[in-house]
Amino acid sequence: MIIDQYCDNENINNVFYQNKVETLLEALPYIKDYFNKIVIVKLGGAIMEDDAGLGNVLNDIVLMKYVGIKVILLHGGGKQITRLMQEKNIEVKFCEGLRITDEKSIEVVKMVLLGEINSKIVSFLNKHGKIAVGVSGNDASFIECRKKQFKKDGKDVELGFVGEITDIDADFINKLLVNDYVPVIATLGSDKYGNIYNINADTCASEIGSKLKAKKMILLTDVDGIKISENDSERLVSRLSINGANKLIKENVISKGMIPKVRACIDALNNGVERTHILNGNHPHSILIEIFTDKGIGTMIVKDK
Amino acid sequence: MIIDQYCDNENINNVFYQNKVETLLEALPYIKDYFNKIVIVKLGGAIMEDDAGLGNVLNDIVLMKYVGIKVILLHGGGKQITRLMQEKNIEVKFCEGLRITDEKSIEVVKMVLLGEINSKIVSFLNKHGKIAVGVSGNDASFIECRKKQFKKDGKDVELGFVGEITDIDADFINKLLVNDYVPVIATLGSDKYGNIYNINADTCASEIGSKLKAKKMILLTDVDGIKISENDSERLVSRLSINGANKLIKENVISKGMIPKVRACIDALNNGVERTHILNGNHPHSILIEIFTDKGIGTMIVKDK
Amino acid sequence: MIIDQYCDNENINNVFYQNKVETLLEALPYIKDYFNKIVIVKLGGAIMEDDAGLGNVLNDIVLMKYVGIKVILLHGGGKQITRLMQEKNIEVKFCEGLRITDEKSIEVVKMVLLGEINSKIVSFLNKHGKIAVGVSGNDASFIECRKKQFKKDGKDVELGFVGEITDIDADFINKLLVNDYVPVIATLGSDKYGNIYNINADTCASEIGSKLKAKKMILLTDVDGIKISENDSERLVSRLSINGANKLIKENVISKGMIPKVRACIDALNNGVERTHILNGNHPHSILIEIFTDKGIGTMIVKDK
Amino acid sequence: MIIDQYCDNENINNVFYQNKVETLLEALPYIKDYFNKIVIVKLGGAIMEDDAGLGNVLNDIVLMKYVGIKVILLHGGGKQITRLMQEKNIEVKFCEGLRITDEKSIEVVKMVLLGEINSKIVSFLNKHGKIAVGVSGNDASFIECRKKQFKKDGKDVELGFVGEITDIDADFINKLLVNDYVPVIATLGSDKYGNIYNINADTCASEIGSKLKAKKMILLTDVDGIKISENDSERLVSRLSINGANKLIKENVISKGMIPKVRACIDALNNGVERTHILNGNHPHSILIEIFTDKGIGTMIVKDK
Amino acid sequence: MIIDQYCDNENINNVFYQNKVETLLEALPYIKDYFNKIVIVKLGGAIMEDDAGLGNVLNDIVLMKYVGIKVILLHGGGKQITRLMQEKNIEVKFCEGLRITDEKSIEVVKMVLLGEINSKIVSFLNKHGKIAVGVSGNDASFIECRKKQFKKDGKDVELGFVGEITDIDADFINKLLVNDYVPVIATLGSDKYGNIYNINADTCASEIGSKLKAKKMILLTDVDGIKISENDSERLVSRLSINGANKLIKENVISKGMIPKVRACIDALNNGVERTHILNGNHPHSILIEIFTDKGIGTMIVKDK
Amino acid sequence: MIIDQYCDNENINNVFYQNKVETLLEALPYIKDYFNKIVIVKLGGAIMEDDAGLGNVLNDIVLMKYVGIKVILLHGGGKQITRLMQEKNIEVKFCEGLRITDEKSIEVVKMVLLGEINSKIVSFLNKHGKIAVGVSGNDASFIECRKKQFKKDGKDVELGFVGEITDIDADFINKLLVNDYVPVIATLGSDKYGNIYNINADTCASEIGSKLKAKKMILLTDVDGIKISENDSERLVSRLSINGANKLIKENVISKGMIPKVRACIDALNNGVERTHILNGNHPHSILIEIFTDKGIGTMIVKDK
């Protein structure tokens, strides 16, 4: 039989498929806009412990990569670290949200970030081609840091191996981007004595984004964004300027864990990142909706006009 | 007022937008598959004279370019040539589908292909960024040809400036692709004496596709593909091997204008192109449906297994 | 017979051939001076309609290219445009030297510039190797322009598709030069909406020359240069500074069609071109004589000391 | 005081320092020989658990890097893996030297190799400059593997996530070498479904060495090399050909854990590695002595003449 | 005075200058033909001692360089060597045309070739731009050689430091050509023990030309080429095939000093050089006439058809 | 016999060899420090006439090259020049340390520098690989100079071909360094008329070092450095700032031949060289001891703090 296959004629002008590709075409203006641009995404929150949810987010990342966006991924892993510390009977202590990280703890941090989370993300992405490379700031010492000095009530607190970034070697990440890889970054840094430090992932995203002049920085978290109480209800702030954000911090509208995230956004904007977003990773495809549709979800913080 | 914008909370988990991006994600396997691959598209048929239709097709091409496909466009312009010849009172003559092209006629061919059609396509594409460059085989003499010898009933027929390709300088087109341009090719060729010839656009697509080892060659035309009569109805052949195609030509099932198209496909497949398609450009988004969905439309001709 | 050829001894020290190569050697200082330098030549005037004359000029250009000069060619085509417009019964209207260019007219402009003149120049040059590539400002949108606003007697005149350059993408032309091609430029530009405009070729030469810091800009025309009346006779001005040129314009010594040419020269000089020339293309080899001998012909305009 | 420092004259012709630099000069022939050559070193044995010893070995590696050798490091971590498995109450099972690696076990393997050992090696090396980058075969999927099929007594044994290399992407490692980094490789591989496998580090060294045509492969272990009993004493075999090695395996002189090491050497030699060595990492500076002096220590296996 | 200069109108169409540039145009076909091609010229004979004559030849070389030919110059310096040896009271001995070169002699050879002749040629060429770099085979050891074994009447003759080429590092010369320099080569070679040898310049030209696939090799000498006696007169052979050359050697028509030159030509042709020439450097511009006109002077040896 | 070689077990932990490699390791901090840095060494003094001594120094240079230092060598050759001038009966005249260099003298200078010394150094270095290329400032005219104007007692002194550097083409030397060659520079310069001049080698080292921002400049000479009389004894100044050096010159502590050396050091420091040294080349391995140990020998001149 020489003819391999027929197709039913009546079906050619198929509306179902036309609708599909028309949806692709609707995304074209956004795709053009982000073509060859850097978008830095920090994965955080509950999504990190939910393999299915994480898989969905990473699938979104793969799409971004293949339509020409230069994606950089960062991740922390707080809850998994706590879990392994408990398993190993290491006391878990925090001081104003900062984990006290002694020598045993930093070993656990490394195991979890590198051996569990980073490699999981990398292997997931690489199912879609040889596209991801896992690194930490220890590789080529590309994130240089020093021990974070911290005072509480006027007294020094010994945080242990908690670091503060002193320099980023943007060139190292650029080499990966130029070779078309998605860098997946575990937010560890090192000093010149070979000590490894745990560093805040939001801050790290902000610093790397600034150095590389990212078009967009997205902090993926568990809440929908910045909320404001009006009468008896809460409303989500969709768009905020640096001035507005600073004012809301001062007025304690933005508080607790949201403060460092907003500060990371402000720093990024002040240092060359175009736009920053705080999104809820638990909503399906929140990143893609943010990037490829006219629907703004979450809170976007932008420069003052 | 420090807050620029609120958004209505209830609306965050919006199904409408989720569906949109899920349609993007459905396209991901196809996008991955074509990433950085060469697809050569020959624009032909009625679409060439219908500005809205042509615009739609070119819009599809822009999407292909921005999701990482290296597109090469070729075009003819038979009807427009005939029209200008008539306007200029030049006699229009054909011999077995080949236009007799004397000195006055080739001038008209050049005017129409370069001054009317090629520049229209280029300017349309460039509305979406500086992405297209119009060329003809005369530029850098990248399509070398000689006068086509043609016999009818054993006697030489003087076709005039109708050319036969003798060499393609693939390097010239590659330089454009490497610089991320979409080459838009008017299918003229030249010989070493500086004569310019009209050459068949289907053949030209096949030869360029072969030289560049294109993943796909698409001939856009006015019919749905190869049709076969069964009982009283016609059925569209969806998939055909080289052997099958040759058999159908021998049995006169494929005939007339379809023969050179099918031959161009067979030559392309024999020289390194992976898959070839004959599609109806009058159906909306036929190229995108072919590439980005599981719906095969038109006739695909492939290598024998 | 083992010896292929003898030569007559007495003839070895042949003065005829020695003289020939000594003429080459006389050109050496000029060749050295222009080695790897950019020279931009605008072809204009009657020469554009005289195939033999044009051929001679292009022959000169080929020599320039092969002795290491980076030549850029620009051309208009006013008379041919007028002729085709008349043939197509489109009314030909000018306003102070500017062609009123409605939608039908710009179609004719494109046909003539791209399909007739540009391709003729390219195919002529390519008889001497794969050296020329024809482009217009529409390709890669490398000449961006907007509609020219024009007032006469205080009232807006609707010029139609007559453009004013807003940006030149010098990089596009540089890529061609680096690959050792002679760019042959039809002076059309485009805006971001995909409209194509006719632009003045002298101005265009000046802007491209400025962006690329050309060593020399030559405007080839029908007159010997700037002439000045003295007593009863006219004398050709051989060398003029910017100041001098401005003064002569003010005093109406330079007038009419010569004014925009001289202004193009002044602009070019003010923006980085070293020397500018107005030459008569009807004198055999005027460009070569200008470049490769100590004979200055035509009018040279230079910077003020 | 204008003079910063005097020096005691009598001391200038100091023999102590002359001897030092003469020792450097003695190393020159070896340095020249290895300049820009690839040496692949697999770290194994007790040294992996002895931080001081490991530090010494890595110090040697730093010297090799700075005198121009392109070093590639591989490491396993068997004992540390066993320890963490016990800590986490996972049963430790082996079958003929191969660790049964179920889902929980591979998680431990990743944690230990990536989070503990690899990052320790990288941070040690980077104390001497930004010279090391830690990777695993999961990064860019550069070590592709499949599940190892294993039979014992004719019956399939389920080894779990124990892999067998199917392909090495040498290009990935080469990019690191070209950028002057020392790749530190955790010997994990991945398949196209995103599964991660533990792979034998000796085999992995052999495969990477072969792909990159290494000049030398050194397997660092706990024994002095291959020993042979003569009369009542044992003698260390200093140099052995492939034929000799195969013969000694057949005669059971080489046995147990030494067999896979010797096989890795033979495979490497058969696929382009010039020389292979089995060295005792517990002797101070064994690698440096092997490379930079005329003293051969350990067992060298070479091609048959 | 605003006008810098007038020119006399009647003089514009000046035939004198037109003739000059027409002579340039006559050279165009030859210039095109040699554009970017390698021509290797060995300077020899009396011209080497006649500064004016040498200057003229080098002037010709400068022209060749500036019209795009990649020129490589080689030179010997026999007579100057003899003169300095005599001045230093070193006995001058030859054996069948080969200079016996003991340790003192090779010192003189180096002084003359490098310190006198090579630097003279380089400084002359560099008057025309930074175009020449002087090298010898000792630089980067790019001409490797061994001591030439020589027998006369069956007995070994001790030639001393006379070398025989064993390898050419074409890459070294190519780097100079790519950087647009004219390599000026003193024909010395070296062995791996650091000994420097005098090598025959004709042979050296042939070997370098072969490695670099030169288009043309020219041996400049004192005679007009190969001459053949007919009746009572001598006739110059203008063109000869390899077969013909071999036959004339066998028949002793070609003899003595001409034999090694002809052999160098034959070797070059057999190894990739297109055409070879023996020219008389004493005739003004012999090289330019050979290359840029239709006048063949001297003897050309070509491949057999 | 399958086993090629045994080794005596008792000997494995050999202290002798361990000491050797530990000496290498002691050099590691210095090797790291100089990795990929430029060190410029001017060879001078008696060492130039002592082949064994010169050989030793060059051996040191080879080591420096192979541990990654980018070495540039310069040499003069005063005594050898004087000797050949005497041999050729040319009168040897100096004026305040400057050699009067007439036309005959500059010929001798070129012969000695290029033909004797430069080629000797190059061939010595190339015994250790294809690592050295000999050049003079005449090559590519990379050292441009003019005739030095010199006055004594208010009257012009005709020094002849003694040059003063006007420009250095650092790019030429950089191309050699990038290709991993050691440039061996004979300190001749040329002017645009093709004249060649003898230039002071210390000054030349200083100018080249400045242009290339060398990390270190070493002037090798016959004395141990700057000495200062204290009581009845002399003490060697080990370290001196620019201020100190200027003061010692003013006070005549530094005098005669040492002045231009110290001035060269000061100029180098003021123009970007990090450290400068005056060392005694007669002490074995003085350069290596200076670079690779903590022993400072000779006088180091550094910037003021």
- Using DSSP, state whether A214 is helix, strand or coil: coil
Reply yes or no on whether the pLDDT at C28 is more than 60.
yes
Reply yes or no on whether the pLDDT at A256 is more than 60.
yes
Nearest chain B CA: its distance from C226 CA (Å) = 35
As a whole number, mean pLDDT of residues C137-158 equals 95
As a whole number, mean pLDDT of residues C163-170 equals 97
As a whole number, mean pLDDT of residues D35-62 equals 94
Q: In this predicted structure, what is the pLDDT of residue D6?
A: 62
Reply yes or no on whether the pLDDT at A135 is more than 60.
yes
Question: Residue with structure tokens 């203008």?
Answer: E238
Distances (CA, A) of E199 to E109, E145, E285: 11, 9, 27
**Dihedral-angle region of residue E303 (phi above 0 means left; psi in -120 to 50 means alpha; beta otherwise):** beta
Q: In this predicted structure, what is the pLDDT of residue F11?
A: 55
For D55, nearest residue in chain A (alpha carbons): A194
Q: Which of E31, E58, E64, E66 to mutate: most C Cβ within 10 Å?
A: E66
Instruction: Give the confidence band of B3 by pLDDT, cuts at 50, 70, 90.
Output: low
Q: Could you give the percent of chain C with pLDDT greater than 90?
A: 81
Q: In this predicted structure, what is the pLDDT of residue B1?
A: 45
Q: Is B62 touching A (CB cutoff 8 A)?
A: yes
Output the CA torsion sign for D256, D257, D262, D263: positive
Q: In this predicted structure, what is the pLDDT of residue A1?
A: 45
Q: In this predicted structure, what is the pLDDT of residue C5?
A: 64
Distances (CA, A) of E263 to E223, E224, E272: 16, 17, 14
Question: Residue with structure tokens 């010709």?
Answer: E60
Contact C183, C72 (CB under 8 A): yes
How, if at all, do strands D38-43 and D216-221 pair? parallel
Q: Could you give the percent of chain A with pLDDT greater than 90?
A: 81
| Chains within contact range of chain C (3+ C-beta pairs < 8 Å) | B, E
pLDDT in tens, A143-161: 999 999 999 999 999 999 9
For C192, nearest residue in chain B (alpha carbons): B127
pLDDT in tens, E224-261: 999 988 777 888 999 999 999 999 999 999 988 899 99
| Chains within contact range of chain F (3+ C-beta pairs < 8 Å) | D, E
How, if at all, do strands D196-198 and D163-168 pair? unpaired
pLDDT in tens, B188-210: 999 999 999 999 999 999 999 99
Q: In this predicted structure, what is the pLDDT of residue B161?
A: 97
CA angle E219, E225, E229 (to 5 degrees): 160
Instruction: Give the confidence band of C17 by pLDDT, cuts at 50, 70, 90.
Output: confident
Residues F73-101 as b/e (b if ≥16 CB within 10 A, e otherwise) read bbbbbbebbbebbeeeebeeeeeeebbbb
Q: Which of F123, F139, F196 sits opposite E194 (nearest CB)?
A: F123
Contact D270, D302 (CB under 8 A): no
As a whole number, mean pLDDT of residues D261-276 equals 97
Q: In this predicted structure, what is the pLDDT of residue C45?
A: 82
Q: Is A134 touching D (CB cutoff 8 A)?
A: yes
Chains B and F touch (3+ CB pairs under 8 A): no
Q: In this predicted structure, what is the pLDDT of residue C150?
A: 92
- Report residue C14: phi and psi, to 5°: -70, 120
Reply yes or no on whether the pLDDT at D249 is more than 60.
yes
Calpha distance A166→A164 (Å, rounded)? 6
pLDDT in tens, B78-124: 999 999 999 999 999 999 889 999 999 999 999 999 999 999 999 99
Q: In this predicted structure, what is the pLDDT of residue B138?
A: 97
How, if at all, do strands D299-302 and D275-280 pair? antiparallel
Q: Is B118 touching C (CB cutoff 8 A)?
A: yes
pLDDT in tens, C205-228: 999 999 999 999 999 999 999 998
Calpha distance C90→C100 (Å, rounded)? 11
Q: What does the mean pLDDT of chain D come to?
A: 92
Chain CA centroid to CA F207, Å: 12
**Stretches in chain F below the pLDDT threshold 70:** 1-13
Reply yes or no on whether the pLDDT at D200 is more than 60.
yes
Q: Could you give the percent of chain D with pLDDT greater than 70?
A: 96
Reply yes or no on whether the pLDDT at A11 is more than 70.
no
In chain F, where the domains are located? 37-302
User: Of C24, C61, C12, C6, nearest to C39 (Cα)?
Assistant: C61
Instruction: Give the confidence band of C11 by pLDDT, cuts at 50, 70, 90.
Output: low
Q: Which of D83, D87, D106, D139 to mutate: most A Cβ within 10 Å?
A: D139
Instruction: Give the confidence band of C14 by pLDDT, cuts at 50, 70, 90.
Output: confident
Q: In this predicted structure, what is the pLDDT of residue A235?
A: 87
pLDDT in tens, A285-297: 999 999 998 887 8
- Report residue E266: phi and psi, to 5°: -60, -45
Contact F117, F48 (CB under 8 A): yes
Q: Cβ of B3 and A288 within 8 Å? A: no
Chain CA centroid to CA D297, Å: 16
As a whole number, mean pLDDT of residues C140-161 equals 95
* Domain E37-302, CATH: 3.40.1160.10
Q: Cβ of F4 and D240 within 8 Å? A: yes
- Report residue C185: phi and psi, to 5°: -110, 120
pLDDT in tens, A79-117: 999 999 999 999 999 998 899 999 999 999 999 999 999
Residues B63-98 as b/e (b if ≥16 CB within 10 A, e otherwise) read bbbbbbbbbbbbbbbbebbbebbeeeebeeeeeeeb
pLDDT in tens, D164-197: 999 999 999 999 999 999 999 999 999 999 999 9
Q: Is B248 touching A (CB cutoff 8 A)?
A: yes
Reply yes or no on whether the pLDDT at B302 is more than 60.
yes
Reply yes or no on whether the pLDDT at B215 is more than 70.
yes
Instruction: Give the confidence band of C235 by pLDDT, cuts at 50, 70, 90.
Output: confident
- Using DSSP, state whether B157 is helix, strand or coil: coil
Highest mean pLDDT among D221-235, D286-300, F63-77: F63-77
Q: In this predicted structure, what is the pLDDT of residue D12?
A: 53
Q: In this predicted structure, what is the pLDDT of residue F148?
A: 95
User: Residue B273: how many CA atoms within 13 Å on its side-chain side?
Assistant: 28
Q: Is B129 touching A (CB cutoff 8 A)?
A: yes
Q: Cβ of E131 and F140 within 8 Å? A: yes
Q: Which of F9, F11, F66, F246 to mutate: most D Cβ within 10 Å?
A: F66
pLDDT in tens, chain E (305 residues): 456 566 554 455 578 888 888 999 999 999 999 999 999 999 998 888 899 999 999 999 999 999 999 999 999 999 999 999 999 999 999 998 899 999 999 999 999 999 999 999 999 999 999 999 999 999 999 999 999 999 999 999 999 999 999 999 999 999 999 999 999 999 999 999 999 999 999 999 999 999 999 999 999 999 999 998 877 788 899 999 999 999 999 999 998 889 999 999 999 999 999 999 999 999 999 999 999 988 878 999 999 98
Range in B10-24, D128-142, F176-190 with the lowest mean pLDDT? B10-24
Q: Cβ of C293 and E21 within 8 Å? A: yes
Contact F214, F175 (CB under 8 A): no
| Chains within contact range of chain D (3+ C-beta pairs < 8 Å) | A, F
Q: In this predicted structure, what is the pLDDT of residue A297?
A: 85
Q: In this predicted structure, what is the pLDDT of residue E10?
A: 47
Calpha distance B102→F276 (Å, rounded)? 80
Q: In this predicted structure, what is the pLDDT of residue C229?
A: 83
Q: Is E284 touching C (CB cutoff 8 A)?
A: yes
Question: Which residues of chain E have a CB within 8 Å of the CB of C28?
Answer: 59, 62-63, 66, 128
As a whole number, mean pLDDT of residues D23-51 equals 93
Reply yes or no on whether the pLDDT at A9 is more than 90.
no
Calpha distance E78→E101 (Å, rounded)? 12
Q: Is A133 touching D (CB cutoff 8 A)?
A: yes
Q: Could you give the percent of chain A with pLDDT greater than 70?
A: 96
